[in-house]
Structures are given as C-alpha cells and as structure tokens.
C-alpha cells in the first residue's frame, strides 16, 4: 500500500467515537495508521471518570494535552499532567485512569490487532 500524502488534521475535525466496552469512559479519534500505509498509529483520546484495565500489545507513547492521567502498573504509579508524556513498552499490564483528560497517543505497530500472539 502506498503512503498517504502529508496532511493537516484539525482537532475540530476529530471524530471521537466510544472505545469498546469502555465507551462511557473513553472516546477515541483516529488520526493515522495502516490505512495511510504506515506502521505508526496515532490519535486522540478523551477520558472521563476512567478506570480501564489493559495489557499493552504495542509500544505506546502518550502525551497529556489536558487534565491529569495516571497509569497503574504492578510495579509503579505513573501520573502525568499537561505536556507530560508516559512511555509504555509492549507487554505492560496496566490500568489507565483519569477523572477528565485529553490525550494524544502514538503506537507501533499500528496493525497490532492483526498480528499473532506467537
């Protein structure tokens, strides 16, 4: 697949949709990924009264745009505010937490869901 052309993605155009069974706590707006011919996926996430358990299946960097965001792992509690970031390597078991937050995320690989768990 050919890579898409460079483009500007305006926040005002972001289409936030509920995220799986956590739709009341998390809405995501996809910005780029495999449909752009890229191995990098990125988007925005709005969290509200969120407590979401997950095991990260990809390398992820999260930048807090608004609010406060916490990641609880077995070993640590990581809390970030506006313009702070949190790095999460693939395989990290965690819980995402926030009262109210707007986040930017980037993941690699973007097609993690289609890859086998070998």
Q: Is residue 8 part of a domain?
A: no
What is the C-alpha separation between 86 and 112, in angstroms, rounded? Answer: 19
Q: Is the pLDDT of residue 117 over 90?
A: no
Closest alpha carbon to 98 in 75, 71, 77: 71
- What's the residue count for the chain? 118
State the Cα–Cα distance between residues 51 and 106, nearest whole angstrom: 20
In a domain, 118, yes or no: no
Q: Indicate the pTM of the whole model.
A: 0.92
Range of the domain at 62: 17-111
Cα-flanking dihedrals φ and ψ of residue 10, to 5°? -80, 135
Residue 96 lies in a domain: yes
Q: Is 58 among the domain residues?
A: yes
- Asked, for residue 1, whether it belongs to a domain, the answer is no
Q: Is residue 9 domain-resident? A: no
pLDDT band for position 118 (50/70/90)? very low
> Does some domain include residue 103?
yes
Structure tokens at 25: 């706590």
Number of domains in the chain: 1
At 63-104, the pLDDT tens digits run 999 999 999 999 999 999 999 999 999 999 999 999 999 999
Domain assignment present for 33: yes
CATH at residue 80: 2.60.120.10
């Amino acid at each position: 697949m050919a890579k898409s052309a460079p483009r500007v993605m305006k926040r005002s155009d972001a289409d936030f949709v509920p995220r799986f069974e956590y739709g009341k706590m998390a809405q995501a707006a996809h910005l780029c990924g495999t449909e752009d011919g890229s191995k990098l996926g990125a988007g925005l996430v709005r969290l509200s009264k969120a407590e979401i358990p997950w095991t990260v299946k990809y390398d992820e960097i999260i930048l807090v745009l608004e609010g406060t965001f916490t990641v609880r792992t077995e070993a640590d509690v990581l809390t970030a505010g506006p313009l702070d970031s949190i790095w999460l390597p693939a395989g990290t078991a965690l819980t995402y937490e926030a009262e109210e937050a707007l986040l930017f995320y980037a993941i690699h690989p973007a097609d993690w869901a289609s890859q086998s768990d070998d």
